[in-house]
Structure 1
Amino acid sequence: MILLVPFIGALYGMLAVIFGAFGAHALKKTFSEEQLKSFETGVKYQMYHAILLVVLGFNFGFNSSLETYIVYCFIIGTFLFSFSIYGLCLSAAKGKKLRFLGPITPIGGLILVIGWGLLLYSFVAEVI
């Protein structure tokens, strides 16, 4: 688990750079301005959480289930949030919007919020 977390963080980071470049160059011609902004939001959130996963992977000892839950929230939440946005944008640009992805984005966002809440709790619990 200890090496898997920074690996996933690095993978998410690498994909964020690739998707960001793809969006800025290849998709700029086919996406509307709104779709491009949504796509960029997915890339930003993916990169923020990629960096966070690398940092947590090297700082957590994974001695508690709380640390594991935090990391799972960030891995799963990022995947659901960002990749559902990518799917929505790409499918809409092709004229066949995958509507089932719409509810997945806020679920991913909620899981990210839970991860941040658990991380905050871990800091508070350590002080108390």
Structure 2
Amino acid sequence: MSRNLALAIAAFYCALALTLGAFAAHALKGHLSVEALNWIETAVFYQFVHALAILCLSQGKQQTVDKLLAVSIMLFAAGVFCFSGSLYLMAFGVSGLGIMTPIGGILMLAGWLTILYHSFSLAFKQKTN
């Protein structure tokens, strides 16, 4: 995966989170239930956190991102799509998406565990050299 693609994914998710968060806070406050607004707030938070993680993973001297880190980026991107996307849609009254939220959470967790594995493998590789 190219650094530029990862950077574009991060920028898109950050811009979208900012837009949806501001829209919900200002334009939708009187039109959605407190529960729906809380879903949007949760979705925006997790989207921002994982977009910033993608941004961090996209940084480096190489033009491409390390393969395992690219896997993490893809897991984060898919996780945000499923997790935050399902919460946004549920807030706007779309039903039947309840299973997508935990699937998204699992994908995001898998992204963090991939980084953990990658970090440990690099640490032990350096130790043995």
Do the two structures share a fold, i.e. TM-score over 0.5?
A: yes
**Partner Cα separation in structure 2 for residue 3 and residue 60 of structure 1:** 12
Alignment of 1:1-128 (within 5 A): 1-59=2-60, 61=62, 62=64, 64-91=66-93, 97-99=94-96, 101-128=97-124
Q: CA deviation at 1:65?
A: 2.9
**Which 5+ residue runs of structure 2 have no aligned equivalent?**
125-129
Q: CA deviation at 1:60?
A: 7.9
TM-score (norm 1): 0.88
Identity across matched positions, percent:
36
**Partner Cα separation in structure 2 for residue 59 and residue 42 of structure 1:** 28
Aligned residues: 122
Tell whether the 8 Å contact from 2:3 to 2:65 is kept in structure 1 after alignment. Answer: no
Cα offsets for 1:60-110 (capped at 9, x unmatched): 84464312211110111111110110001111xxxxx421x1101110110
Give the match's secondary structure for 1:27: coil
TM-score (norm 2): 0.88
**Which 5+ residue runs of structure 1 have no aligned equivalent?**
92-96
Tell whether the 8 Å contact from 2:6 to 2:55 is kept in structure 1 after alignment. Answer: yes
Tell whether the 8 Å contact from 2:14 to 2:48 is kept in structure 1 after alignment. Answer: yes
Tell whether the 8 Å contact from 1:10 to 1:50 is kept in structure 2 after alignment. Answer: yes
Instruction: List 4+ stretches of structure 1 deviating above 4 A.
Output: 60-64
Structure 1 or 2, whichever has the larger Rg, is 2
Q: 2:127 maps to which residue?
A: none
**Partner Cα separation in structure 2 for residue 88 and residue 15 of structure 1:** 17
